[in-house]
Structure 1
Amino acid sequence: MGAGIAAAFALAACAPSGYNAADYGNAAEPASNDVAASPGATADPAATSDPVAQADPDATAPPGSEEGTELTDSQVTNKLTGTAVKRMGEVVENEDGFVLYRFDGDSNDPAKSNCSGDCAAIWKPALTNDGKPTLKGVSASVVGTVTRADGTKQLTLKGWPLYSYIGDKQPGQWKGQNVSGKWFVIKPDGAKNLTCLPAISKPVAPPASEGSESDSADTGSSSGDYSY
């Protein structure tokens, strides 16, 4: 009984401010099949590969696409800032102050994004035109790009493609931490930030299609049996 109370208290202390710990799902589930849940854990051997990201050799642009088409300012990530937030510590934020993540389903050597379709609607790729965002607290030596299957370019850190999470409704939130046991806040050096590791939770549902009466992502609810 006492151990259960302690575990519940620890989870609540680990959750982002104003976030119900119950929303993280079953606290009895293992944190991940390859991630230790001990406080302050930062080891990540996979994050120490060649800092120069390589383009995915298998990625191809769809028929009719034009290489070199410029994305609009609203579509790209123009700034990467290494900073710190409460409870989590080191994070990387985009120009709007939203925390960025990395996905265990991707690879960093060579760099490759395996998040597309509904996955990319939930986890927004940090797209770029020239791969040269303004940097603050992030070394240019670890910033690179990878070409996605649709021909767009995505920013990487130590080869890991970067994403924001639509479940984060305010700058500085990190509700995507340990979603599906595969998504983690990324540190300025490209490693996973495991300082705070809530229980595995499901991602929010993809945004409702145009004309739908509701959008479960707006409510922050989880839905469906998503593997991403």
Structure 2
Amino acid sequence: MAAKRLTATVAGCAAAAAAFAGLTACAPQGGADAAAGYDAAAAQQQAPPQALSDILGESAAPVSSAAPVRLTTALKGATIPKMGKVVTDQDGWVLYRFDKDTAKPPKTNCVDKCAQVWPPALTDGNPDLSGVDASVVGTVQRADGTRQITLAGWPVYRYIGDPKPGAWKGQNVGGVWFVVAPDGKKNLTCLPTPAPTAVEPPAASAPAADPTATQNGDGGAGGY
């Protein structure tokens, strides 16, 4: 279904700097900084939780019951060191958007191997919202019948390469994956350079094909 959209100004990129300096300043951290929780002051100002079903009504169909799935039960606006405003799930995992998806209309192009590396944020239609405006939240139906959360029309995902909640190693992976801000726009505050390469899918499910290939072909190394 079509998602509601919010017009917002994308946060400006960090001022131009030498490539090495950019890499040093923006390198995702796996330690205490990146794992920091939500900004306490910002959390006190966040809107009270809202159920997505209240926004979308009966059109937010439940996910497929064919197999157990990990649901995203909350969307939380948070402030992460060096990166700034982000959206996380109920466990603090940072969420991302994919340039090869579309927002008008909402459509996900991350399937199969891609979805093993970038698990979609699936919903039963009832995630709580905190610090995320209800007007930008929606869902899109995936090919397997599950429903994925969208922000400003863009489907959102986790990244298996993030070592812990609050980490954002998925930023700028393949030049097509970006941390999503609470308004659904790309957070471009920090862009690690050169663009990182995506981690491999879990060994048990990794296909024998070229691991740099993408579902749509033109992503190059780490493009999925």
Superposition TM-score, scaled by structure 2 size: 0.68
Which residue matches 1:136?
A: 130
- 1:105 maps onto 2:100 in alignment: yes
Task: Please tell me whether the aligned partners of residues 125 and 162 of structure 1 are also in contact (alpha carbons under 8 angstroms).
Answer: yes
**1:114 maps to which of 105, 109, 116:** 109
Which residue matches 2:37?
A: none
**1:13 maps to which of 25, 46, 63:** 25
User: CA 1:6–1:68 in 2, change beyond 3 Å: closer, same or farther?
Assistant: closer
Aligned amino acid, residue 95 of structure 1? Q
Q: Give how far 1:186 is off.
A: 0.3
Aligned amino acid, residue 166 of structure 1? I
Which residue matches 1:124?
A: 119
Q: 5 Å matches for 1:175-214?
A: 175-199=169-193, 200-209=195-204
CA distance in 2 between counterparts of 1:98 and 1:18 reads 12
Q: Give how far 1:129 is off.
A: 1.4
Task: Please tell me whether the aligned partners of residues 94 and 166 of structure 2 are also in contact (alpha carbons under 8 angstroms).
Answer: yes
Which residue matches 2:88?
A: 93
Give CA deviations for 1:109-143 in whole Å, capped at 9, x if unaligned: 1000000000000000000112x310100011111
CA distance in 2 between counterparts of 1:185 and 1:191 reads 9
CA distance in 1 between counterparts of 2:173 and 2:64 reads 33
Which residue matches 1:173?
A: 167
Give CA deviations for 1:130-189 in whole Å, capped at 9, x if unaligned: 2x3101000111110000011110000011001000000111100000001000000000
Which residue matches 2:223?
A: 227
Task: Please tell me whether the aligned partners of residues 73 and 127 of structure 2 are also in contact (alpha carbons under 8 angstroms).
Answer: yes
User: CA 1:108–1:12 in 2, change beyond 3 Å: closer, same or farther?
Assistant: same
Give CA deviations for 1:42-75 in whole Å, capped at 9, x if unaligned: xxxxxxxxxx9xx9xxxxxxxxxxx864488861
CA distance in 2 between counterparts of 1:18 and 1:86 reads 12
Q: Give how far 1:197 is off.
A: 0.6
Task: Please tell me whether the aligned partners of residues 161 and 170 of structure 2 are also in contact (alpha carbons under 8 angstroms).
Answer: yes
Secondary structure of 1:11's aligned partner: helix
CA distance in 1 between counterparts of 2:29 and 2:199 reads 18
The root-mean-square deviation of aligned C-alpha atoms, in Å, is 2.5
Secondary structure of 1:144's aligned partner: strand
Secondary structure of 2:135's aligned partner: helix
Task: Please tell me whether the aligned partners of residues 176 and 184 of structure 1 are also in contact (alpha carbons under 8 angstroms).
Answer: yes
Aligned amino acid, residue 98 of structure 1? W
Secondary structure of 1:180's aligned partner: helix
* Runs (5+) with no aligned partner, structure 2: 1-16, 32-55, 213-220
Secondary structure of 2:114's aligned partner: helix
Task: Please tell me whether the aligned partners of residues 199 and 222 of structure 2 are also in contact (alpha carbons under 8 angstroms).
Answer: no
CA distance in 2 between counterparts of 1:71 and 1:86 reads 39
- 1:149 maps onto 2:143 in alignment: yes
Secondary structure of 1:227's aligned partner: coil
Secondary structure of 2:82's aligned partner: coil
CA distance in 2 between counterparts of 1:171 and 1:71 reads 28
Q: Give how far 1:7 is off.
A: 3.1
Superposition TM-score, scaled by structure 1 size: 0.67
Task: Please tell me whether the aligned partners of residues 71 and 128 of structure 1 are also in contact (alpha carbons under 8 angstroms).
Answer: no
CA distance in 1 between counterparts of 2:66 and 2:26 reads 37
Q: Give how far 1:93 is off.
A: 0.3
Aligned amino acid, residue 87 of structure 1? K
Task: Please tell me whether the aligned partners of residues 170 and 179 of structure 2 are also in contact (alpha carbons under 8 angstroms).
Answer: yes
Aligned amino acid, residue 73 of structure 2? N
How many residues end up aligned between the 2 structures? 167
User: CA 1:227–1:18 in 2, change beyond 3 Å: closer, same or farther?
Assistant: closer
Asked which structure has the greater CA Rg, the reply is: 1
